Amino acid sequence: MSFLEIIAFIVPNALFYAAPLIFTGLGTVFTERSGVTNIGAEGLMQIGAFTAIVFNLAMADVLSSMTLWVAILVAMVVSMIFSLLLAVASVTFRADQIVTGVAINFLALGLTLFLVKKLFDGHGQTPMIQERILRFDIPYLSEIPIIGPIFFENVYLTSYLAILAAIIGWIVLYKTPFGLRLRSVGEHPMAADTMGIKVNRMRYIGVMISGALAGIGGAIYAQSISLDYSHATISGQGFMAIAAMIFGKWNPLGMMGAAIFFGFAQSLSTVGSSLPIIEDIPSVYLFILPYVLTILAIAGFIGKSEAPKALNIPYVKGNR
């Protein structure tokens, strides 16, 4: 394989694995920026993945090629509603946000598997979906020499939607009044409250955005990578998205960069055996790379990652 061919093979694969991470990670950026820790991203992705697969299986005959996209939307809504549990417990009831997040993960896995067994006669796994997200060549762009084959040939549309979403997320967070309010609530809720911003309402919105985006992430993962739903479908992607958020310093674009890098590491561990040099590296190093890098990043060895100041602290009006 020539160098160019190798690059043209790796890049779409990295973007392909990165897409669910970018969506979920973007969601966690919004929640944590509002001051709510989101350990429940994994569970929210599970809800999204489960919903998308069940919807896809049920409606594929009716909606044919539109099934995918409708399934993503349905997963988004269901996941958003589910995330309200996190919001109610951790914002209104002032529960420990990490404990609540852990409970969300328990609940999502238990509930989805319970329903899978209920819906599919006791099987622990759904059948494979028929309508799946496919690769395609982007017209015109893929004909550009060098860049075309790398970025625009054999790609998944979802990869580009994810990148677009991250850019929109960045604009919303840094260039709109809403974004400023959301960030202020996560940094100094009392000051924000004094300025007339409804702290708890902003936090509800932050959590729900995360629910919606993690639902999309889970739906994309299920419909492009796993193609069915079982206990092992979402195994760590949610936590990897959290890692991307930290590695990206709670910034949508930084998070996107980290997610693409993690996607790259993930794709190397699966397709790396067919590439020169990479095939000699034991796959365990590629598996642990994202996690080790995150630890180094948060420890300050790769630039300082600082969390929003009011993260994990329920806001009580009038408390200093």
Q: Which residues bind another protein (CB under 8 A)?
A: 37, 39, 85, 89, 93-96, 98-100, 102-107, 109-111, 113-114, 117-118, 122, 231-232, 235-236, 239, 242-243, 246, 282, 284, 287-288, 291-292, 294-295, 298-300, 307
Which residue's CB is nearer to another protein, number 300 or number 303?
Answer: 300
Cα–Cα nearest to 222, from 238, 243, 211: 238
State the nearest-atom distance from the C-beta of 102 to another protein, in Å. Answer: 5
State the nearest-atom distance from the C-beta of 177 to another protein, in Å. Answer: 30
Instruction: Output the CA torsion sign for 41, 42, 47, 52.
Output: positive
Which residue's CB is nearer to another protein, number 122 or number 177?
Answer: 122
Q: Which two tokens stand for residue 202?
A: 């902003």
State the nearest-atom distance from the C-beta of 107 to another protein, in Å. Answer: 4
Which residue's CB is nearer to another protein, number 105 or number 210?
Answer: 105
Q: Which two tokens stand for residue 129?
A: 């979906």
Q: What's the start-to-end Cα distance of the chain, in Å?
A: 63
Q: Which two tokens stand for residue 246?
A: 């930290």
Cα(104)–Cα(254) distance, integer angstroms: 26
Which residue's CB is nearer to another protein, number 64 or number 92?
Answer: 92
Which residue's CB is nearer to another protein, number 104 or number 219?
Answer: 104
State the nearest-atom distance from the C-beta of 18 to another protein, in Å. Answer: 17
Cα 244 to chain centroid, rounded = 9
Q: What angle do helix axes 41-63 and 67-87 make, rounded to 10 degrees?
A: 150
List the beta bridge partners of residue 303: 301
State the nearest-atom distance from the C-beta of 167 to another protein, in Å. Answer: 26
Which residue's CB is nearer to another protein, number 106 or number 174?
Answer: 106
State the nearest-atom distance from the C-beta of 173 to another protein, in Å. Answer: 21
State the nearest-atom distance from the C-beta of 277 to another protein, in Å. Answer: 19
Cβ atoms of 11 and 150 within 8 Å: the answer is yes
Cα–Cα nearest to 29, from 198, 290, 212, 210: 210
Coil/strand/helix, residue 309: coil
Cα(66)–Cα(194) distance, integer angstroms: 47
Which residue's CB is nearer to another protein, number 184 or number 266?
Answer: 266
CA distances from 274 to 156, 267, 282, 284 (A): 21, 11, 13, 16
